[in-house]
Amino acid sequence: MTDALLAIGTRKGLFLARSRDGGPFEIEPIQFSTVAVPSVAVDTRAPAPRLLAGIEYGHFGPSVMYSDDLGRTWSEAERPPIAFPEKTETTLTRVWQLVPSPSEPDVVWAGVEPGALFRSEDRGVTYQLVEALWEHPHRPRWVPGGGGLCLHTIVCHPTDPRTMGVAISTGGFYRTSDGGLSWEAANQGIRAPFLPEGQQYPEFGHCVHKVAPDPVDPERLYLQHHFGVYRSDDFGGAWHDIGSSLPSDFGFPVVAHPTRPDTLYVLPLHADMDRTPVGHRYRVHRSDDAGGTWRALDRGLPEGPVHAAVLRDAMTMSEAGLFFGTRDGEVHCSRDDGESWTLVARHLPDVLTVRAAVL
């Protein structure tokens, strides 16, 4: 038998759903009720999967919980698992991203607000600040985006632990090739149309919404920007526009197919001031040629009108399927690469993050 696990982090709790042998997902009772869960990871690298959840306890602040029994019980480090060193005079606001390293068995990365990267070497129990990124000369000039000054995306090279990239709103995309000892801005070719003529391609200061790696070519990345959809074929060395034929190149998530090269998905919204689905219908757009052409996929999705957006981490794809959750609490699933969709859940709180895995 094959089990699939779906983890749904919302504004008011965590929901786990399970499917057996391709059957429907069944939602389990809420966990962390009334607590925001903006980040989730399903770590399947060890024989016993580990769930990680970045939570926000309101007055008590953010933390990271972990479970080694698929959510039946949860544990937390004895001391705050993520904390800025005292010398930084900085307080953790939110854990935006939790990513198990594909090339280091016990390493988990955390992206947080205010924009910083933390590294764990005990599978996500405790974390240490990556000081070289924190001390980057650009950092004092990063400014918060609409969601805050957040490091929301971590892209790990599949085989080389020295190479990785991060996206910061509104710093842009930064990369390292020496394991995080040094970092460089990697935003060449990304346009910021709100700037004056002649200054529209700045080195940094970009509102990157999400970045996804191609599953076959580790040098190829896809990027959803506040003002466009881009592809890089050299791990961020240069970016090229691939969104001109979409009905809108504004949106938040971008997802790559986990096994099929050159295949990616976006969900366009009208514009930055009207963050509703284009045509007031959920239509996931898929490209099978690395962004050369796009096709709208909506069979089985609501016919509309719909008005809820899909956030940057609320769409995901794994061997378990393609999923997205909405700001009005619906979760939709496709098990045929987006060709058709079924409803997994409705009437949940505002969906912040969705992650899925085959166990």
Q: What is the mean pLDDT of the chain?
A: 96
Cis bond leading into 277, ω under 30°?
Answer: no
**Chain position carrying tokens 């009108």:** 305
> Is the distance from CB of 351 to CB of 315 less than 8 angstroms?
no
Give residue 261's identity as a one-letter amino acid code.
Answer: P
Question: Cα 203 to the chain's mean position, in Å?
Answer: 23
pLDDT digits (tens, 9 = 90+) for 217-239: 999 999 999 999 999 999 999 99
Predicted confidence at residue 209, as pLDDT, reads 97
Q: In what order do the strands lie in the sheet with 164-169?
A: 150-156, 164-169, 172-176, 184-185
CA end-to-end span of the chain, whole Å? 10
Mean pLDDT, residues 130-143: 97
90-118 average pLDDT score: 97
Backbone angles phi, psi at 266, to 5 degrees: -135, 165
What domains sit in the chain, N to C, each tagged with a CATH number?
Answer: 3-358 (2.130.10.10)
pLDDT digits (tens, 9 = 90+) for 253-270: 999 999 999 999 999 999
User: Which residues pair with residue 39 across a beta bridge?
Assistant: 54
Q: Which amino acid is at 189?
A: G
| pLDDT at 166 > cutoff 90 | yes
Task: Give the rounded percent of residues in the chain with a pLDDT score beyond 70.
Answer: 100
Q: Is the pLDDT of residue 1 over 60?
A: no
As a whole number, mean pLDDT of residues 301-322 equals 96
- The CA R_g of the chain, rounded to the nearest whole Å, is 19
> For residue 98, is pLDDT > 80?
yes
CA-closest candidate to residue 325, choices 294, 282, 357: 282
What percent of the chain is modeled with pLDDT above 90? 95
Dist. CA 238–CA 359, nearest whole Å: 37
pLDDT band, very low/low/confident/very high, at 7 (cuts 50, 70, 90): very high
Q: What's residue 194's pLDDT? A: 86
Residue 206: count of CB within 10 angstroms of its CB? 26
Cα angle 89-90-94, degrees, rounded to a multiple of 5? 170
- Note the pTM of the prediction, 2 decimals: 0.97
The pLDDT of 189-216, averaged and rounded, is: 95
Find the angle CA(270)-CA(304)-CA(294) to the nearest 5 degrees.
50
**pLDDT at residue number 272:** 84
Coarse DSSP helix, strand, coil percentages of the chain, rounded to the nearest 5 percent: 5, 40, 55
User: Starting from the edge strand earliest in sequence, which strands make up the sheet with 228-232, in order?
Assistant: 208-213, 221-225, 228-232, 240-241
> For residue 347, what pLDDT band results from cuts at 50, 70 and 90?
very high
* Average pLDDT over every residue of 93-99: 98
User: Helix or strand or coil: residue 134?
Assistant: helix
pLDDT given for residue 57 in this prediction: 86
The Cβ of residue 67 has, within 10 Å, a number of other Cβ atoms equal to 17
